[in-house]
Amino acid sequence: MILHGDITINGKEYKKGSHISPWNVFPFFLIHILIFGASGFAMAYFSDTPIGFLYMHGGIAILVYLVFYRVIFGIDEVRWMLINAGLGIFGLYSEISMLLSLAGKTIHNFPLQVHVIPFMYYILYTFLIRQVIIELTDSRENETKLKMVGRIYMLGSVLIYGLLFLMNR
């Protein structure tokens, strides 16, 4: 991967434009965001955490992740993530509904503002999954392959979300 900004990893400084192994980045973020996302999900849906604390806990972490994402992946990829998130409300709704149904709850049991932090974590995590797929298929530097991976990713996502949506109706 080529960095889009300066960053220090484990005390070693990497300059903008440096090549780093994706395995210096992905394992940390996949685990870190999963843990913070799960805690945000639990606080939002399974506790009486005040909304202010939920926003502080999740909001600060999400802003930090966005800064790292811009430095590591570049502004164009972050823009793609936000556009995809706007299009992905269907998926967010379907998967959060499915997860809540496992606990006998529905997405409608909670006010809209409670969903912001879990949805943002979901967006950050699915973005990271897409980046892992791009790396695993060695598509980043091959425009044709990248478009094909993007189409397959989107089609797979719509199929999964559609099935989950239908299962929860």
Tens of pLDDT, residue by residue over 26-78, are 898 899 999 999 999 999 999 999 999 999 999 999 999 999 999 999 998 89
State pTM to two decimals.
Answer: 0.63
Whole-number Å distance between alpha carbons of 51 and 57: 10
DSSP state of 105: -
Q: Is the pLDDT of residue 16 over 90?
A: yes
Q: Is the pLDDT of residue 21 over 80?
A: yes
Q: In angstroms, how far is CA 127 from the centroid of its own chain?
A: 4
| pLDDT band with cut points at 50, 70 and 90 for residue 157 | confident
**Secondary structure class of 103 (helix, strand, coil):** coil
Q: What angle is formed at CA 124 by the lines to CA 118 and CA 129, rounded to 5 degrees?
A: 120
pLDDT for 87 equals: 67
pLDDT for 95 equals: 81
